[in-house]
Amino acid sequence: MLTAPSLLAELDASLAEAPEGWRHGVLRRIVDLFVGDAARYADEQVGLFDEVICRLIADIERLPLVELSNRLAGVDKAPVRAVVTLARHRDPAIHGPVLVNSRAVPDRDLAEIAGAEQAGIDVLGKIAARAELSEAVTDVLLKRGDAQIRRAVIANANARISESGYARLVAGLNGDKKLAAAVAARDDVPAELKPFLAATLNA
């Protein structure tokens, strides 16, 4: 019987001598197999797919990674290590789809990616565009982002903002009535900050 360790050992042996085209072809077939039944796989099975995919994408060329990112971005139960590897890639065409759309990227990784020194406004913008954002992620976005990033976070009804995040927003209003109005329109603004928002709006 072929076990997971023996399967991975055979794959490693094959990859050692395999040409690039073979690796790409196998990756595409593996992803086809996974995506077709992703919701039905048990966690252990998803983990095996994750191991296989991560082995296949090591040192692979750009286009297969772009294709993989687009295919896994919409899969809720996507292999975590694989999507995190894609999310941390420097190429926007590779990290973009999973940063914006993948629910499989853990919050801790999103926060680390947003907080990395090399993360530019384009990366922050992709993360801010996600359908849902946790407090851990918005804290980093509000700390490092520009006015456009702050507005994107505020406009996202499914973005959770911590008290310290709101305090940062209010402290940085600098008389911006439009920004103050956008913050005040949210349902979760801490009560103690509302007078400061009102003062800006009525100035």
39-75 pLDDT per residue, tens:
899 999 999 899 889 988 988 889 999 999 999 999 9
Query: What is the C-alpha to C-alpha distance for residues 82 and 79, in angstroms, rounded to an integer?
Result: 6
108-135 pLDDT per residue, tens:
999 999 999 999 999 999 999 999 999 9
pLDDT interval class at 26 (50, 70, 90): confident
Provide the pLDDT for residue 24.
84
Provide the pLDDT for residue 46.
93
Provide the pLDDT for residue 14.
61
pLDDT interval class at 20 (50, 70, 90): low
Provide the pLDDT for residue 16.
58
Cβ pair 69, 75 in contact under 8 A: no
Provide the pLDDT for residue 58.
86
Which has more confidence, 9 or 107?
A: 107
Provide the pLDDT for residue 18.
64
pLDDT interval class at 2 (50, 70, 90): very low
Provide the pLDDT for residue 13.
57
